[in-house]
Structure formats: structure tokens, C-alpha cells
Amino acid sequence: MPLKKTNVLEPTQTQSLTLVVDLKDCASYDDVGVVQAFAFVLEEGVYRFHVGNSVRHTHVAYELNLDNVVVLEQLESACAPVTPFKRIKPHFENSQVQLILEDVPLRNYDLNQRIATHRPQSIEPTQDRGFKLVDVASGKVSMDDFIAQFSDHDLACLVRGEGMSSPKVTPGVASAFGGVTQNLLGFGLPLAACSDGPSGIRMDNGAIATSLPNGTCLACTWNQPLVEDLYVLEGKELILNKIDFLLGPGINIHRNPLNGRNFEYFSEDPFLTGSMAVAQMKGMHSVGASGTLKHFAANNQETARHFIDCIVSERALREIYLKGYEMAVKQGQSRSIMTSYSAVNGIWAASNYDLNTTILRDQWGFDGFVMTDWWAKLNDEGEEATVRNTKAMIRAQNDIYMVVENAEENSLNDNTLEALEAGLLTRGELQRCAKNILKVILKSEAFARLQRGETDLVKLAKEFNEVLTNLVKIDGHGLLSFDGSDTSQGSKKNFNLDVQEAGTYVFAFAMSSTLNPLAQIPLNVSLNDEFVATFVFNGTDGVWTTKEKEFVLPQGPVKLTFNFPQNGLQFQQLHVTKK
């Protein structure tokens, strides 16, 4: 049933609206077997549809009398809890309703056996046969033949997103993925960019973008066409800035008024939530951009959300916390989803097979790709969650880990290749993630830009004509000192360089920040007074450490400027080495 709202009506003007009800929106999920286990059912009885201008002022517009139970959709159990708890159940006695407690049904299947049974066949690897991604787009070769060219190392790099503020894409955005290595670029993969969201584009370089009303405000309109029109404009702004995916909408449920993320989410009502998400998806897709549904799933609090285990019945999960996602997938054809930081019934969402495969792909038919939240933890059931366990992520079909500083060098030291070598992960599972990613990239504006010849991945500085004094010679390497420089908000630090050879250089910053490791502090970089990139550092809890960033320097005299848009960073020195 789509939301319906009249136009703005003048005095005496009228408008008729027709509401079509999908009976599944009235159905219950039976996770016990009272009617039919693991099915959406309509129980026998009278269904009354009320119309009015408030919940206190309605009249019955239609009645549907069901003499028998109707099974609308038969599913298999998934994401069932393993921790016992009780839930409230209504009990009718002498025409009175009493609330009693019942045990929640627990998982009754072997999850590891389910994973093993549905493990995909591996594609036999080949040498590089010269196939490019454009050959897949044109139908010249199949996706399987194209991916067969990828080495295990190529596949492992493809499931890593780089950021924050990768210099390979639009400065200041959250991540780059796709052609993150020279090999992947050589296969014709573009670099796609993601930006926060959900209330408009966030670029940590200080660039100006439109601030949109937050999710709760948009849901208060109950106006799908208006929200869709707004996100047509948002999609155009994304494309203008060469950003392919907005990290939004946020569509978790307003479960508690104290949730620190409520402003990003739409409503306490799953149907209204899903309706708003569908409108946003349609708007962005119409102009070539895309949104990312988040945080999948049951992200109902901000405090300690990296550590909590959301223990929830399968019925509540499907009827409340997953319904908005299901609507956005089936009606909005969503292409991208971000998993939450927390666990869902014991397994961290980013590595939860039932969540990302059984429900999302097998039961809902999702045909896009899934990314983690930034620096999320991953686990095998019963084991401690860590950021390294990409083996569990890949097996679950959470396709991309967000984010690492350098995909080629495995800067986060993930366990993808070691698990593959040890037989704990199959090449087929890794190739399956690659296909999920590439199918979406083929539909992206990033791929269209590449076909139009817009291939400049890193903008080099323009020629600088001023006479520079006190040049620091960079002949393969050089050492720059901050020497007590002011790094407070609004300050800047200039270095005049004499670069002997153009190329990619590794900038090793000796740095510290009193902020915690989840804090993100941007540093804007200019060459010859032209803004070119944003480096993002995490807090270090006051510990001095070395953080490396890569950057392209042109040959000759260069004015290098670091601008500090926020407080929180301290630097001692910067070691510059040609890669």
C-alpha cells in the first residue's frame, strides 16, 4: 500500500485518493508453528480498515472477513536467537485480555551445515586474457570469464574499500572502492566513491553541499512523491561531485527516544520507514546515483553500538526491524546496503550469514552489494569479533570491508588470503563477492564516467609560477619538520619543496591525537594553492604513532600546504619517500 497524501487544497477544492492494500502488510510471521511455522499468515477473522483524520476520529471504510487461514509466504527460519528469553503473549480468558510470558523459539537448524550446503562453485582461474569490464557490459564475455582472470590477490583487494578521504576519488568523501589497485584499474574497473549521508553530502575537505532535512522530518511529511523529487535533486548533486553512493538513508526503527541516531532514522513504524526509503531510492536511481540502506539491522542505540548483541525473536526481527529494508529492496531496487556494528543473535551483522545471504539475497532477491560500517568487527559464531576476520565477512556475502588505508598492501592485516590458503574460505565465496560488487559497478555513474574518458583519478597540481625560497629538496626522500607549528582549527602549515621526480610518494606522519580511535580528524592538502586532497586521521588516545598516506607530487618547485579544518591533531615531523 503506497502512502497517499492530497495536494495542497484550496477552499472548496476536493481530491479523491484510492488506497490499495497489500495483504502482506496485515500479516503476521509465525515463528512458533501455531498456524504454519516460518510463514507470513493471515489468521481467520474480520479485518477492518479505518479512515479518519486522527486515531480518535475514524470510521470503518472496508471490512474483510476471512473464514480460513491464508498462508501468504512460506520461508525458512533464519536469524533465530540462540539465547533463551521470554516474550509477552496475549491470553484471552472470559472476554478479558491477560498478558502472559512464553519462551521465544530458538534456532533449530545447523547454521554451519546451511553455509556449507549453499557454498558456491569456484570459477577456474585463468591468466589475464585481455578482457575488460566494458566487455562484460557489451556482452562480449560473461562475468564469470572476466572474473576468472583475477588472481587471489586481486580478489582480496577488490573486497577492500579505501578511506577515509582517499585521494583517488572526490576529495573528502568516505571511501573509494572498485579499481583500488593498478591491476584492478588495468581490468577496466572504475573507482567509485561513497559519501555520508544520510542528510546530504559530507565532504571533510570543507566543500559546500546542500544540507537536507533529516529522516524524521522527511517521514513527518507522509509524502512519497515530494521526498522522491527531493532525492532526484540530491542524486544530481552526487553526480555533479562525482560521488556514486550516498551512505543513507538510515532506516532503523525509533525503538527508544534516547537513541542517539534517531534523527537519522524515519519512524517507529516499519511501513512508514520503508515507504520513505523506497522514495529516496527511486529518486537517486533516476539520475544515476544510488543510496545505501543502513544500518542493517536492529541498530537501535548509539551508545556502545560496537559492542552490543541485539537478541531478538525471529518474528520481531521480520515484522519490525527488517520490514523497511525488505520494502526498499523489493520496491526500491536498492543496490547497496551497509551492515551495523552490533551483533544480531550472537553473530556480528557484518559476518552474519543468515542476515546477508539467507534473508537478504535468498528470500528477498537482493541483487546488489553489501558493505560494512567503517572499521566494523567480524566474527565466527562463538568467537571474539575482530576487524581482521574478513573470512567470516566474505562467507556471509558482506562484500566490501570499509575501510583500509591501502588495499594493495592489506594495511589492516585482514585474514582473507591466509584463510583461503588454509582452506577456511573458498575461492568461489570470494569470487561471489566480486560478482556482487561488479554487477553494481556496471550500473554506476563511475563506470559511465570511465566510458566517457574521464579517467583522471588523482588531480595533479597546476604549474606554480611564483619564485619559491628555502626549497626542501625531495630526491626520493625528504624530512619535513612541523617544529611546534600551530595545528588548531583554521591554521595552516606551508612547505616549499623541490621535487626531483614526479610520482607517488608515501607521507609518513609522526602524529598524535588526544581523541579516541573512532574519532575522524581531517587534514586538507593543497599543492600550489590548489586544493587536491583530504587526509583523515583517527584519534590515538594521546599516543604518538606513525601514519602513512600516499600522494602524487609533480616534478619541480611545489608549494605544499596543510590546512587544519578541525582541532585534534599534533604533528612532529613528516617523512616523504618515493614509492
For residue 394, give the 3-state DSSP assignment: helix
Residue 466 exposed, middle or buried by CB count within 10 Å (0-12, 13-18, 19+): exposed
| CA 84 to each of CA 67, 380, 463: distance values in angstroms, whole numbers, following the listed order | 35, 20, 68
The pLDDT score that the predictor gives to residue 189 is 96
The pLDDT score that the predictor gives to residue 459 is 36
| pLDDT tens track for 305-321 | 999 999 999 999 999 99
Residues of the chain short of pLDDT 70, as ranges, are 1-2, 455-470
Specify whether the CB–CB gap between 569 and 563 falls below 8 A: no
The pLDDT score that the predictor gives to residue 176 is 96
Specify whether the CB–CB gap between 434 and 440 falls below 8 A: no
Q: What is the DSSP letter of 92?
A: E
The length of the chain in residues reads 579
Which listed residue (154, 354, 373, 414) is catalytic? Answer: 373
Return the closest-CA partner of residue 176 out of 507, 368, 441.
441
Return the closest-CA partner of residue 507 out of 374, 413, 405.
405
Please report which residue ranges of 163-255 form alpha helices under DSSP H. 182-186, 215-219, 224-240
Specify whether the CB–CB gap between 371 and 398 falls below 8 A: yes
With a CB cutoff of 8 Å and minimum separation 6, the contacts of 208 are: none
- Which H, E and C letters describe 339-365, residue by residue? ECCCEECCEEHHHCHHHHHHHHHHHCC
Answer yes or no: 380 catalytic: no
With a CB cutoff of 8 Å and minimum separation 6, the contacts of 14 are: none
Cα 7 versus chain centre, distance: 35
Residue 189 exposed, middle or buried by CB count within 10 Å (0-12, 13-18, 19+): buried
Specify whether the CB–CB gap between 203 and 209 falls below 8 A: yes
C-alpha cell at 510: 609522526
The pLDDT score that the predictor gives to residue 458 is 37
Residue 261, CA atoms < 13 Å, CB-side half-sphere: 21
d(CA 393, CA 388): 10
State residue 357 phi and psi, 5-degree precision.
Answer: -115, -60
Specify whether the CB–CB gap between 246 and 238 falls below 8 A: yes
Q: CB neighbours (10 Å) of residue 557?
A: 18
d(CA 397, CA 409): 23
Sorted by where each starts, the structural domains of the chain and their CATH numbers stand as: 1-75 (no CATH), 111-451 (3.20.20.300), 472-578 (2.60.120.260)
State residue 447 phi and psi, 5-degree precision.
Answer: -70, -40
C-alpha cell at 534: 583530504
For residue 51, give the 3-state DSSP assignment: strand
